[in-house]
Structure 1
Amino acid sequence: MALKTLSAKAAAALDKELMSTGAFSIDQLMELAGLSVSQAVYRVHPPARGPRVLVACGPGNNGGDGLVAARHLRHYGYLPTIYYPKRSKNELYQRLAKQLEDLEVPFVDDFGSAIKSTDHIVDAIFGRLQHRGSPNSADWVTGFSFSGEVREPFPSVIKALEETKVPVTSVDAPSSWNIEEGPPKSGLGSSFMPEYLISLTAPKPLVEHFNGRHFIGGRFVTPSIAKKYDFEMPAYQGLDQIVETGPTGQKL
């Protein structure tokens, strides 16, 4: 049986609930998400296949997940490089960047050059929910960080992701894809199909258009929340923070 997907509206409400009645902080959720991403990368591309990983980070929570994943990857023995052209002024993101700098993880400005000297790419540009302030504040954002308009320098990055032969792992949604409808019908991103996708918390409707290896990372959602939002929690094994499923969410 296929696992149910979570709409953008439901995912926004669930994320808000996790950080209010669920008592999670955004730091915790980002740490758990980034840990899941790092485990997915380790599963599909262990260091022996090539330790160089280029992590492309956007300005929102998706980018924060990428920064956390890069830190874990560095501790696993990889040699990550960070492309983070639109740094957030938020203290959380600044701390995450500082942690990487302390590990001597390089930050690069030229994605086109960096992509030529890497073994794997993590696409953490657009995808996950973008929040500002606290869950009850007036500036809480309940939409996904990709709104349909891609601003520089990201169009050239997405084009490079479309054209590269280097395997790509996308976080929650391939950048340029619509959460509900999948890839654009034409134009930028319409031919972008990463090899790997990790859905955070639960699969989104876009997985119906994805034909690579698919993982779910969300080993923190309580049974009561899963029941409320009407989706099935996968059976995580041992220490794993991820579960691999079929392209449309069915358990392998």
Structure 2
Amino acid sequence: MALKTLSAEKAAALDKELMSDGAFSLDQLMELAGLSVSQAVYKFHPPGKGKKVLVACGPGNNGGDGLVAARHLKMYGYEPTMYYPKRPKNELYERLTKQLQDFEIAFTEDFPSALKSTDLVVDAIFGFSFSGAVREPFAEVIEAMETTKTPVLAVDAPSSWNIGSGPPESGPGKNFQPNALISLTAAKPLVKWYKGRHFVGGRFLSKAMAEKYDLDAPAYQGVDQIVEVPLQDQKL
């Protein structure tokens, strides 16, 4: 099924409506998004290909999705390591971090070194609300993901990309092409410039909400929280 894309403005409006008229809490949406990310990892890179997963998390909701995904990955039998250098003083993120610590999931402050010994990277640094210049320490991290031969799965957007216009013209991320991308709720216009495997996840839209935002509901199967969508099937 062809899936329509959702602009950054409409994605923000949809999230706001889900947490008002839709009666979802941020915790619920983040848990469902992180579960989708974990399933995309399992589909793209099953444990038999290597269990060590390096999860790079930013300070916002995209990073929160990465925190949730890591907990699920631990339960699936992976060995996640967290890179989470900018931790907001926010109860939700503090609780998610505590959960990972209770599961004895390792944290690292040295992304380049951790990258050398991992089997997969999850890019959960910046999502659809990102704009402006990439600052350290994330510029170095994005440059490392850009050049590594280790497979990378990006959450909602390759970090540094503009949601509407794709990769930046210069600087970190100019040539960043993750091997896989999991779009949350709906694909964003940036998929026009994306060349890897593409999944859509986030199984929480009602029929009425999908119709209001002119979205085609993915054909989720059984208990799956994700659907793989060939890029040529996107309506840009």
User: C-alpha separation between the residues in 2 aligned to 1:78 and 1:147?
Assistant: 32
Instruction: Give the equivalent residue in structure 1 for 2:103.
Output: 103
Instruction: Give the equivalent residue in structure 2 for 1:171.
Output: 155
User: C-alpha separation between the residues in 1 aligned to 2:63 and 2:170?
Assistant: 25
How many angstroms does 1:248 deviate by? Answer: 4.6
Residues 99-248 of structure 1: matches in 2 within 5 Å?
Answer: 99-128=99-128, 144=129, 146-248=130-232
TM-score, normalised to structure 2, is: 0.97
TM-score, normalised to structure 1, is: 0.91
Return the letter of the residue paired with 2:44: V
Moved over 3 A (4+): 248-251
Instruction: Give the equivalent residue in structure 2 for 1:72.
Output: 72
User: C-alpha separation between the residues in 1 aligned to 2:170 and 2:85?
Assistant: 26
Match of 1:117, SS state, is coil
How many angstroms does 1:88 deviate by? Answer: 1.2
Give the number of equivalent residue pairs.
Answer: 235
Return the letter of the residue paired with 2:68: V
Instruction: Give the equivalent residue in structure 2 for 1:135.
Output: none
User: C-alpha separation between the residues in 1 aligned to 2:232 and 2:125?
Assistant: 23
User: C-alpha separation between the residues in 1 aligned to 2:232 and 2:62?
Assistant: 22
Match of 2:87, SS state, is coil
User: C-alpha separation between the residues in 2 aligned to 1:189 and 1:248?
Assistant: 23
Q: CA RMSD in A?
A: 1.1
Q: Greater CA deviation, 98-107 or 239-248? A: 239-248
Q: What do residues 22-48 of structure 1 show as CA deviations (whole Å, max 9, x unaligned)?
A: 000000000000000000000011111
Return the letter of the residue paired with 2:132: G
Contact 2:5–2:234 (CA<8 Å) still a contact in 1?
no
User: C-alpha separation between the residues in 2 aligned to 1:4 and 1:46?
Assistant: 28
How many angstroms does 1:250 deviate by? Answer: 4.2
Q: What do residues 171-225 of structure 1 show as CA deviations (whole Å, max 9, x unaligned)?
A: 0000000000110122221100000000000000001111100000021101101
Contact 1:63–1:125 (CA<8 Å) still a contact in 2?
yes
Return the letter of the residue paired with 2:45: H
Return the letter of the residue paired with 2:178: P
Contact 2:219–2:227 (CA<8 Å) still a contact in 1?
yes
Contact 1:57–1:67 (CA<8 Å) still a contact in 2?
yes
Return the letter of the residue paired with 2:81: T
User: C-alpha separation between the residues in 1 aligned to 2:155 and 2:173?
Assistant: 15
